[in-house]
Every structure is written in C-alpha cells, then in structure tokens.
Amino acid sequence: MLKLVEQDEIGLDDPVGQHLTSWELPDAEYSWEEVTPRRLLNHSAGMPAGGYETVPLDEEPPPLHEALSGNTGGPVARPTTEPGEFRYSNPGYALLELLVEDVTGRDFVAYVDETILDPLGMNRATFVVTERLRSEVATEHFVDGTPVAASHGPSNAHGELYATAEDIARFVAAGTETSGEPVGRGVLAPESVAEMYASAAETLGFYGLATDGAGLGHFAETLSDGERAVMNGGQGSVSWNWFHAVPGTGDGIVILTNSERSVQLIADIVEAWTDRSGLPAVSLVHARRWIRLPVWILVGVAAGLVLRLGYGAITGTRSFAPLSDRDRITRAVIGGLAVVTLGLWWTLGRETVAFFLPVVAEWVGLALSAVVVLLLVTIIFPRTDRGGTT
C-alpha cells in the first residue's frame, strides 16, 4: 500500500471506494467515506472481525470477490461499527488486497513478488501452493497435539504467505540501517517506513496489553529507554507466529511455530531475547504475567474455600442445610451470580480467550469451575454456630 502511495497511485486517506472498480461496495450502516487505506491498515476502519473458511491445499479456494461478499463462510467486508476505533479485522486486509489489484491491474501475488519479496531477497517466501511447498510445509497442531492438514483460503493478504524464519527476518531487517544499507532497502523510502511504524490507533483488549498502538501493518510500543519497538504476529488456524524488532538498535527476532498453544512459549523466548540483547522488557512479557494472574487468583480463592469447608467439617460448625434461614438471600445471590458467571465463561468468555490463549483458557475454565462448585457446596453447607440454629 505504501508503495502505491509513493507512486501517487493512492492516498492513505482516500475513501477506498474511490479506487475499487471490480467490486460494488455493499450497503452498510456506517459511511464508506470513512473507510480509508490508513484505517484498514491500522484496523480502525470499523470492519468486522473474523476470517474465511479454508480448503485443503490441493483444492482451489473460492474467489476473493465471493469472500468479500460474505459467500464463503465469513462476514461481508463492510463497516459494522463507527470507523475510528481499533478492531482487528482480516476482512479489512482482504479488501486492501482487492484494492491493490484494482489500482495496479495486476494479480496481488505477482505484484507483491515483484515489489517486495524479490527485492528483499525473500527467496523462499511465496503465496503459491506447489508440490514442493506441500512436501515442505510444517504440520500444524491443535492444543491437544492433534496434527492438522494445511489449508488455504480466498484471501492472500491477511495470512496466506508461506515463508521461512530467514525470509521474515529479511523483511524485519529492512526497517533498520545497521547493516550499512538504507532503511527500506530501496523498496520503500525511510519516511514511509517511519510512517509504517508510527502508532496511529490505540489498541484494545489483548492487543492493548502487548502493544501501545497500531501502525500501518505493524504494532508498536515505546520502550523505557525511549526506543521504538515494532512487532506483529498472527494466529493461523492452528499456529502462532511472531516478530519483534527495535529498528533503532537493529535488534530483532522471528518466531514461527506450528501449534495453537505457542503464545506462552513465544513470550518466554521474547523475554530471553530482550535480556540477552540488553533491551528493556517489552509489553508482551508484561502481558504474559498479567495473563497468568487470573489463574492464580482463582486457585487462591479455591484454596481458601477448601480450607473454610474443611474447618467447618472438623469443628462441626457446618452442616447440610440448603434451605437454612441463615443468610438465605445472600447465599442465593452469591450462588446465582456464580452460576451465571460460569455460564458466561463457557458460552462466551472461553471462546474469546481461547482464540489467543488456548492453554490459559483451559486453566481459567478449570479454576473457575472449581471455585463455583466450592461456592455452591459452601452455600448448601452453611455455618451453624450462630445461635445454635440453622
């Protein structure tokens, strides 16, 4: 996109409808005039979250236009919230892919090969599925270790690049000048790289824990020593990948994994990398510690309830009396809130957290279930030591 900006083909703040010629913008509740390349790049265009259904590598995925129109199992690519607030959107990048094709009159894959991959020496990076790729691509795994066959979908732009760690390292290194070569390596001007790395939208949720803001295709944060760190990652259907870099010092790391349970591992490796490189701790490492906190809090609550019940059983100050008048309303409210909380977790919360942190989600679910069960046991075994009645 920034290459097209440098060539005066588009403006970052142009309405995308100004450049899309092969696909009619669908009706939307919010204005398409506010949907711009800049906002699509930093995930603040109000586009929907989610992705598209994939097919095995030996099958042809449906056309991009069909995906954008919502005919391939994913959402329609249109603003569903007021543009301006961060919401990570794969359909937004699928829309950018079409914009590239409409503006250049060329296939997206061929254009990216010529303007980015080849000039940067990313020699094994490709969007094209070949027999060699099928034989070399890593086998991905679910949380429980079950292997999953590789697949691909209708949009290349948001996650269909097959590459080695060296390929991605070349891409990351192109944003630095420590090798003696210019920033951007001739693909982009240094000013464009700086704009790409600048925070333009405040991140929220999990992204807010690990970053300060979203730039153009990158996330960014300012470290305690004043240096700017940039990063990006991605979760495939059953994989996690990440890169982190400090362009001002030339430090960077690329981590590619073949499991959906890799976030903890990635955070541990990034922490080891910052320590070894003499860099300040990055937000991802701090986020990892916060992520663990709910589990430990729930474990602590469960332990306290076990001790409370155990003490009551030993001293005889608790007995089975679910209909006891003792604090009946309070016990009923606590029990109701506990059951509702558990229900919300297993129906809504678990799915959201598990998308990023499947292992942590399982532990939170187990710990929360234990706390709720112990609360219910406490409620039906109330104290009997006040006034000698139940």
Residue 383 · residue 318 · CB < 8 Å: yes
Quick one: pLDDT band at residue 388, thresholds 50, 70, 90? Answer: very low
Q: In the prediction, which pLDDT does 14 show?
A: 97
Residue among 168, 162, 166 nearest 236 (CA): 162
Mean pLDDT of the region 357-374:
86
Q: In the prediction, which pLDDT does 390 show?
A: 43
Task: Express each pLDDT in 118-166 by its tens digit.
Answer: 999 999 999 999 999 989 999 999 888 899 998 999 999 988 999 999 9
User: Where does residue 275 rank: exposed (0-12), middle (13-18), buried (19+ CB within 10 A)?
Assistant: exposed
Q: Which residues is 219 bridged to in the sheet?
A: 214, 231
Residue among 156, 158, 171, 157 nearest 124 (CA): 171
Task: Express each pLDDT in 19-55 by its tens digit.
Answer: 999 999 999 999 999 999 999 999 999 999 888 888 9
How far does Cα 319 stand from its chain's mean position?
A: 48
Task: Express each pLDDT in 247-274 by its tens digit.
Answer: 999 999 999 999 988 888 898 999 999 9
Q: Is the pLDDT of residue 208 over 50?
A: yes
What is the C-alpha separation between 170 and 235, in angstroms, rounded?
Answer: 21
Q: Which of the listed ranges 64-68, 206-210, 301-305 does the model predict with the highest average pLDDT? A: 64-68
User: Where does residue 8 rank: exposed (0-12), middle (13-18), buried (19+ CB within 10 A)?
Assistant: exposed
Q: Across the chain, which distance is largest between two alpha carbons, in Å? A: 86
Task: Express each pLDDT in 214-248 by its tens digit.
Answer: 999 999 999 999 999 999 988 876 889 999 999 99
**Tokens 């070349």, located at residue:** 170
Residue 372 · residue 342 · CB < 8 Å: yes
Q: String of b and e for 190-228 (b: at least 16 CB within 10 Å)? A: eebbbbbbbbbbebeebbebbbbbbbbbbbbbebeeeeb
Residue among 163, 192, 277 nearest 229 (CA): 277
Which residues fall within 8 angstroms of residue 172, CB to CB, at 6 or more apart? 243, 245, 252, 254
Q: Which residues is 148 bridged to in the sheet?
A: 140
**Tokens 């800049």, located at residue:** 38
Residue 125 · residue 253 · CB < 8 Å: no
Task: Express each pLDDT in 178-193 by its tens digit.
Answer: 778 899 999 999 999 9
H/E segment holding residue 37: helix 37-41
CATH 3.40.710.10 fits 2-281, yes or no: yes
CA-to-CA dists, residue 235 to 95, 105, 239, 258, angstroms = 19, 30, 6, 10
Q: What is the mean pLDDT of the chain?
A: 90
Phi, psi of 244 (to 5 degrees): -140, 140
Residue 302 · residue 367 · CB < 8 Å: yes
Higher pLDDT, 205 or 95: 95
**Tokens 């042809």, located at residue:** 60
Residue spans of the domains in the chain: they are 2-281, 286-380
H/E segment holding residue 228: strand 228-235
Mean pLDDT of the region 276-286:
89
Residue among 169, 171, 168 nearest 183 (CA): 171
